[in-house]
Structures are given as C-alpha cells and as structure tokens.
C-alpha cells in the first residue's frame, strides 16, 4: 500500500532483467523483467508450468539463472564484482545474501524434530546472533500475531496444515526480512484451512511488508495486491493493478485463465 506514496526515484527492492532459466533442454523462464518497490505486494498468477514458482525461487537463488540479472536490496543475487569482473559467489556468500529474504513454502517445511518455538528461534539465534531471550520474546509475539501462542511447545506433526503454515510464516518473519517470498502457500491446504492463512497474509500486506506471492487465490490477489503479474509459458503476459488485470484482462491467455475461476 505504501508503494503508492513512495518518493520519486526510490530504488526498487527487487530488480529482475531478462531472466532466463532452463532445466536441461526445457526453457521455463524466457526473459522476465520485473521491479518490486519497497512495501509493494506483488501477486504472480498463472497456470501450472508457467514458470512462476521457478521465478520466485530464482529471486533467492534456490535456482540459478542462465542469463539475465536479479538484484535484491542493491545486491546482485548469487554474484559479486571482483576486479571489475562478475564472479560467482561461494555457497556461504549466497547464504549471507539470503538472510534478509524470508520464504514460505507450499509444503510448509517446518523442521519436524523441533517444537514450534524452536522452529522460529533457530535462525534468529543461529544465524542472526540474537540472544535466546530476545529471540524467544520475539517468537512469542509473532505466534500471538498468527494466533498460535498456545502451540509454542507443540511439534509440527501435532498441528493442522493451516496452523503449520502460520507457524512457517512466523518463522520467516522472525528474521525481520526485507522481502517475503510466498510459494503457493495455500495450495497444500484443505479448503476450509485456506482462509486462516490468507487472513494472516492480508495482515502482513497491510503492515507494509514487501511481498511476492505466487498463488492461485484470485480473491487474495484482488484484495491484497498492489500489482498483479500474469505469467504464461515463461513470459510475463500482463502486469498491472488488480482491478485492471483481473477485472479487465487485455490478453486472451489471461482472459482464458481467469474465466476458469468465475
């Protein structure tokens, strides 16, 4: 929301230019350009296989790209410039870059051998050097925010899918990320549990967190997105305000995709 009121000339938090990605012979991203401003909520829609999840995973270098440029918060992801030449970063260098990016996965991926609280404080203590007390206090606040304070001592297996995903969101927020990536966060949930996760995400959007969300939830895109991106076949087909892209799609492929949800 705050994206609309940013001063002229603010540098985008995420800049992607001409991003190409192939798995062996199969080219899944065929030149993606995208800027995301600080505080902006971008929702990426598109049919399965359109490359939207792959693009999201390229932003924090879970997938490497074969051509193009991706920058987050002024740093080129996965590379550094040394003696005026572009050089691949070491694994630890990439790990450092990822520390300001939170990620929420389709399958939640909570650490099953740790309690809810241990899941949340693992990265703040181990990677960001917080004291156990600070990390625990912060974790309890986050659990309160996602409505799960009572579950701090439970193991992930004891929670429903919706609860697990809310814990996963709290875990990602605990590192105080500048950017949050959501990779189909509600796709693995039973229909009656989708609402609670979307409500949590809507809250975050209102609070001005920069978010890139890959999803099939058109309703969420309409309500919470500052901008909607429609991808198909490895291209960005259409991009704009939700009322334009969803309410009045111009491209036939966007129209065909959206007609299935009406």
Partner 1 sequence: MSTATTTTNAPPSGGADFRDVVTAHAPFRTGRLVLWLVVLLVAADFIWICAHNDGFDWPVVGQYFFNPTVISGLYVSLGLTVVGMILGIVMGLVIAIARLSQDRLASGFASLFIWFFRGTPLLVQLIFWYNLSTLFPRIGLSIPFGPTLIDWDTNSVITPMTAAIVGLALNEAAYMAEIIRAGLLSVDRGQAETAEAFGMTRARALWRIIIPQAMRSIVPPTGNQLISMIKATSLVSVIAMADLLYSVQSIYNSTFQIVPMLLVAVIWYLLITSVLNIGQSYLEAYYSRSERRGATAAHPAPAAAIEEASH
Phi-psi map region of 193: left, alpha, beta (phi>0 left; psi -120 to 50 alpha): alpha
Question: In the bound complex, what is the minimum distance in angstroms from residue 179's beta carbon to partner 1?
Answer: 12
Phi, psi of 183 (to 5 degrees): -100, 95
- Residue 50 to residue 52: CA distance in whole angstroms: 6
Question: In the bound complex, what is the minimum distance in angstroms from residue 31's beta carbon to partner 1?
Answer: 25
Question: In the bound complex, what is the minimum distance in angstroms from residue 145's beta carbon to partner 1?
Answer: 19
| Residues at the site binding partner 1, with contacts judged by CB under 8 A | 60, 62, 91-92, 95-99, 101, 103, 105, 107, 109, 111-115, 122-123, 126-127, 150-160, 163, 175, 190
Phi, psi of 110 (to 5 degrees): -65, 155
Phi, psi of 29 (to 5 degrees): -120, 125
Give whichever of 32 and 101 is closer to partner 1, judged by the CB atom.
101
- State the Cα torsion 163-166-167-171 to the nearest 10°: 170
**Other Cβ atoms within 10 Å of 1 Cβ, number:** 13
Give whichever of 210 and 254 is closer to partner 1, judged by the CB atom.
210
Question: In the bound complex, what is the minimum distance in angstroms from residue 109's beta carbon to partner 1?
Answer: 4
Question: In the bound complex, what is the minimum distance in angstroms from residue 241's beta carbon to partner 1?
Answer: 30
Burial class (CB in 10 A: 0-12, 13-18, 19+), 174: buried
Question: In the bound complex, what is the minimum distance in angstroms from residue 238's beta carbon to partner 1?
Answer: 29
Give whichever of 3 and 143 is closer to partner 1, judged by the CB atom.
143
Question: In the bound complex, what is the minimum distance in angstroms from residue 180's beta carbon to partner 1?
Answer: 11
CA atoms within 13 A on the CB side of 201: 32
Give whichever of 5 and 92 is closer to partner 1, judged by the CB atom.
92
- Residue 245 to residue 226: CA distance in whole angstroms: 11
Give whichever of 69 and 155 is closer to partner 1, judged by the CB atom.
155
Do residues 183 and 214 lie in contact, with contact meaning Cβ atoms separated by under 8 Å?
A: yes
Give whichever of 166 and 227 is closer to partner 1, judged by the CB atom.
166
Q: What distances in angstroms separate CA 154 from CA 96, 140, 151, one per listed residue?
A: 30, 13, 5
Instruction: Please tell me what DSSP assigns to residue 4.
Output: G
In the numeric block, the tokens 């490359």 are attached to: 51
Give whichever of 113 and 260 is closer to partner 1, judged by the CB atom.
113
Give whichever of 69 and 105 is closer to partner 1, judged by the CB atom.
105
**Other Cβ atoms within 10 Å of 67 Cβ, number:** 13
Question: In the bound complex, what is the minimum distance in angstroms from residue 150's beta carbon to partner 1?
Answer: 6
């Amino acid at each position: 929301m705050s994206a609309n009121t940013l001063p002229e000339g603010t540098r985008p938090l995420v800049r992607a230019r001409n991003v190409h990605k192939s798995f062996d012979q199969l080219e899944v991203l065929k030149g993606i350009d995208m800027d995301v401003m600080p505080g902006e909520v971008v929702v990426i829609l598109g049919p399965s296989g359109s490359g939207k999840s792959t693009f999201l995973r390229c932003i924090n270098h879970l997938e490497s790209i074969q051509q193009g440029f991706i920058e987050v918060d002024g740093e080129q992801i996965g590379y550094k410039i040394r003696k005026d030449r572009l050089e691949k970063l070491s694994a630890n260098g990439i790990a450092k870059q990822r520390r300001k990016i939170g990620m929420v996965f389709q399958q939640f991926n909570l650490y099953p051998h740790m309690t809810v609280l241990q899941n949340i404080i693992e990265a703040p203590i181990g990677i960001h050097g917080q004291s156990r007390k600070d990390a625990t206090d912060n974790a309890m606040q986050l659990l309160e925010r996602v409505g799960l304070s009572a579950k701090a001592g439970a193991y992930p297996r004891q929670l429903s899918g919706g609860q697990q995903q809310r814990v996963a969101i709290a875990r990602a927020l605990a590192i105080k990320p500048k950017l949050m990536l959501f990779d189909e966060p509600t796709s693995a949930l039973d229909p009656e549990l989708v609402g609670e996760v979307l409500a949590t995400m809507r809250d975050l959007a209102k609070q001005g967190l920069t978010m890139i969300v890959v999803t099939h939830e058109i309703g969420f895109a309409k309500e919470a997105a500052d901008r909607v991106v429609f991808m198909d076949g490895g291209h960005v087909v259409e991009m704009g305000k939700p009322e334009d892209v969803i309410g009045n799609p111009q491209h036939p492929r966007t129209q065909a995709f959206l007609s299935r949800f009406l």
